[in-house]
Chain A
Amino acid sequence: MKGLKWRLAKDRLFRGLVYLLSLLSISPLIIILLYIFKRGLKVINWSFLTHLPKPVGVEGGGVANAIVGTIILVFIAVLISTPLGIWAGLYLSEKRRGLFPEVVRVAVDILQAIPSIVVGIIAYLWVVKPMGRFSALSGGIALSIMMLPMVVRSTEEVLKLIPPYIKEASLALGVPYWRTVLKVIIPAGLPGILSGVLLGISRVAGETAPLLFTAFGNQFMNWNILKPVNALPLLIFNYAMSPYEEWKRLAWGASALLIIMVLTVNIISRLAGRRWKVQL
């Protein structure tokens, strides 16, 4: 009987340990978020959102250029990766077996695994070097390379869940194949596809490494996609590494703003995709 007691005690001990370690592992997240919101939220006000950064030594100033830059970069990334990604995802869900689809899936996996800094090098070699200067376009292309595999994957996963009889019913009615895809399959999967795109946006919007030598950063407002732009993550990085307290204060504010943006898009994406039990 002593053995049984010991075994039960071990069972309880293990259970306690699992609960304890699980709770502990989310504590850094909570601590970090508390810090960011405590120091960052008080920085955010109207002039923070609408003004440009001031020169060193001058109080105040804002991050308007970085907000605009992030929007431009994400917009370019979505414009390139979404149509291509959805189309390739459609291919994979339409042709599930065979050697070539398998090759595409492996390629998508590898693309997703490429470290973000290496994506920066790729965009540098493809766009910055031939053009001879840093630009918003190159940054957007870097982000689109990161987003592409996410869109392909989520599209494929979502479309796989659509019951085949819907498609068969449409084909049996004599609807041509392309119309069946456009009018039946895509609409049926649209919320799921959209949720994948939003999740991709929430991930690339916070990326810094691919922008270091593509979008590069810019102290001024810029709407021209052939010139360098600033972005919120870039601004946080540059100001965090600077020795000036005023810039660090702006970096806290920008961090809070970036977290709010990223988490909002992330949560919307999860709500939109809840119907689809897909691991994105």
Chain B
Amino acid sequence: MKRRTPFFLSLLIAALIVVGVLLASFFSITVSSLPALKKFGLDFFLGKQWDPPAKVFGALPFLIGTLITSFLALLFSLPFSLSISILLGEYLKKGRLASLLKSLVDLIAAVPSVIYGFWGLQVLVPWMREFEMKIGVSPYGVGILTASFILSVMIIPNTASIAREVLELVPADLKEAAYSLGATRYEVIKRVSIPYAKSGILAGVLLSLGRALGETMAVTMVIGNSNVIPRDIFSPANTMASVIANEFTEATGNLYYSSLIAIGFFLFLITAVFSILGRHIIKRSSLK
């Protein structure tokens, strides 16, 4: 009965609009990136040269820049985010210290990314320059490594909160069984909790990787904005997001503009796939 009322219809329309916003976004971006994709085809993603005056647009340097910064950031942040999730999911489930730590981790996510970038530019970059001088590489200060450090801090909360939730879902009787066999806490965590929560933790990692791939401001401010394929992790580079942020307003000519949107289109696709995958894994593991 209630499903047919005009009121329920209005709810349905709101839901349709939400889906429509997504579809329309996808459509607009696809259409606007077509000129570049048609002109360069697959070479758009494999081309090593990004040269606006010559009208040659290959996005490989940005793909590589994005992959390296994101994976390094993930690598740096994993020990920390997993520790937090183990601490909050196993050792300190309640109490003042636990809720303080939880709020502080949430705070990491609440600080705007432009502020991470500004701090990185003013404080971390000079530190890195000194460090690079000491170890004898070219002291840019800005570059892939600097961007990865900032990113790794920013994505800690994403992995930590999902991993904590799945660790809390591990059935107590499984853990108690292990304790009753004389296992230490470390052994229970290593042999029971983590294997049980493995797929959920993986989903958390995927979601933070998606966040790292698309993060714009903090990276743009400290990565050095260089459009060639980086030589090593100390070199300046650009990511897909940072090149759009830097060049979109100055893009002259339809092809340049469309090439930047095509990079955005690709980012859109990757993050959508990651979010669907992450959602799927979480759903499957919580059904267990």
A83: min CB distance to chain B, Å: 8
CA distance A258 to B214 in the complex (A): 22
Contact among A120, A149, A181, A255 with B7 in the assembled complex (CB-CB below 8 Å): A181
Q: Within the assembled complex, what's the spacing in Å between the Cα atoms of A216 and B249?
A: 9
Q: What string of 1s and 0s marks CB contacts (under 8 Å) between B98-139 and chain A?
A: 000101111110111111111101110000000000000000
Q: Could you tell me if A122 and B91 are in contact, using CB atoms closer than 8 angstroms?
A: no
A19 touches B87 (CB 8 A): yes
Interface residues on A, range: 35 or more
Give the size range of B's interface with the partner: 35 or more
If A10-B184, A26-B104, A237-B217 touch, does A113 touch B22 (CB 8 Å cutoff)? no
Residues in B whose Cβ lies below 8 Å from that of A87: 10-11, 14-15
Let me know if B104 and A29 touch, CB within 8 A: yes
A117 in contact with B112 (CB, 8 Å): no
Interface of A is mostly: helix
- Name the distance in Å between B206's Cβ and chain A's nearest Cβ: 10
Q: Is B29 an interface residue (CB 8 A)?
A: yes
Residue of A nearest to B115 (CB): A255
Is A79 part of the contact surface with B, judged by Cβ < 8 Å? no
Q: Is A268 an interface residue (CB 8 A)?
A: no
Q: Contact between B21 and A148 (Cβ–Cβ < 8 Å)?
A: yes
Q: Give the distance in Å from the alpha carbon of A240 to the alpha carbon of B215 in the complex.
A: 18
Report the bound CA distance from A263 to B274 in whole Å. 29
Q: How far is the CB of A79 from chain B (nearest CB, A)?
A: 15
From known contacts A88-B17, A104-B19, A122-B25, infer whether A178 and B276 are also in contact, taking CB-CB under 8 Å.
no
Across the interface, A112 reaches (CB within 8 A) one of B91, B153, B275, namely B275
Q: Whole-angstrom distance from the CB of B92 to the nearest CB of chain A?
A: 9
Using CB atoms and an 8 Å cutoff, list the residues of chain A in contact with chain B: 7-8, 10-11, 14-15, 17-22, 24-26, 28-29, 32-33, 35-36, 84-85, 87-88, 90-92, 94-95, 100-101, 103-104, 106-118, 120-122, 124-126, 145, 148-149, 152, 176-178, 181, 202-203, 205-209, 212-213, 216, 233, 236-237, 240-241, 248, 251, 255, 258-259, 262-263, 266, 270, 279
**Chain A to chain B: the 10 pairs with minimum beta-carbon distance, closest first:** A115-B214, A206-B112, A87-B14, A178-B7, A25-B80, A21-B83, A113-B275, A91-B11, A11-B184, A209-B216
B residues touching A (Cβ–Cβ < 8 Å)?
A: 1-3, 5, 7-8, 10-12, 14-15, 17-19, 21-22, 24-25, 28-29, 32, 77, 79-81, 83-84, 86-87, 91, 101, 103-108, 110-119, 121-123, 153, 156, 161, 165, 184-187, 189, 207, 210, 213-217, 221, 241, 244-245, 248-249, 261, 264, 267-268, 271-272, 274-276, 279
